[in-house]
A and B are shown apart, each in its own frame.
Chain A
């Protein structure tokens, strides 16, 4: 037994970003095998499009600045619209080396967005470059996976998702009334 919440908490939705067709197929299969719902896109700009962020919004969140300067991030109508548009993405996993927008560029844009900055971002790369890895982790990436990505890597994702999920539960308590059912587990 657990807490009674509105949302179906059985499936997490992962947005996978990779320009390589083969790697997209692989990551999709890896994620689905681990019971994640997957949307795979081939570029950073398609990822932003899917989330409902166009490139302009992501660059400077002017619309959201004023509201956020006084308050902590609280669910608002506009935030909810964006999350709905993004079909409840719980985690973004992206390749580093992509033409146009790199995975690092995408990471920065996500972290600048008031709507999406709390979504965990994981970066994948075929190249083991410590400075690159450190930069990504310092700038907000939760994990950095070396390609080819393994099932054991995908298993590391769940804790980051559970963390995000309990944040969702906290914020949903502010808007809905729920009864806490204490469990023996």
Chain B
């Protein structure tokens, strides 16, 4: 009974992540690359993303705090950030990155700062959701 409930929970959480636009098809690609020889692939990639993006967030904060603002450097960091988030299928995060880059290209400092708050927010929301989701997936797979 527990097993079924867990599996239903997993399915429902997963559906919701897609329906609410947090994840896109690229995440399915990650799931498809996971198999018996690489049973933790999705978790590994997600972990890599959060380690990498935390570093980038710090760099972007620093760049936004310096005067004058180096928009070239900012765009470079955000290009990397967007690339990574797109690679894991983090749809909302990627969209916020795109918005940021537009402000960056226009050298609109205020716009960048505002937009970056959005990026961080979506980044944090997805992190929480993925943690819970992947933990539930693990629990479901461990329940015989």
Contacts and interface: CB of A to CB of B under 8 A. Distances in A.
Interface of A: 20-23, 25-26, 29-30, 33, 97, 126, 147-148, 150-151
A62 B143 CA distance: 65
Interface stretch (B10-18, B80-88, B122-130): B80-88
A26 B32 contact: no
Contact of B80 (A20, A29, A30, A150): A20
Contacts of B87: 20, 22-23, 26, 147-148
| Interface residue SS majority, chain B | helix
B106 interface: no
B54 interface: no
Q: Which of B33, B44, B88 has the most chain A CB atoms inside 10 A of its CB?
A: B33
A79 to B, nearest CB: 36
* B: interface residue count bin: 20 to 34
Nearest to B32: A151
Given A25-B44, A126-B83, A30 B88 contact: no
Contacts of B52: 20-22
B86 A25 contact: no
Contacts of A20: 52, 80, 83-84, 87
A68 to B, nearest CB: 39
Nearest to B34: A29
B83 A150 contact: no
B51 to A, nearest CB: 8
**4 tightest A-B contacts by CB?**
A22-B84, A29-B33, A126-B83, A148-B87
Contacts of B72: none
Nearest to B38: A29
A25 B42 CA distance: 11
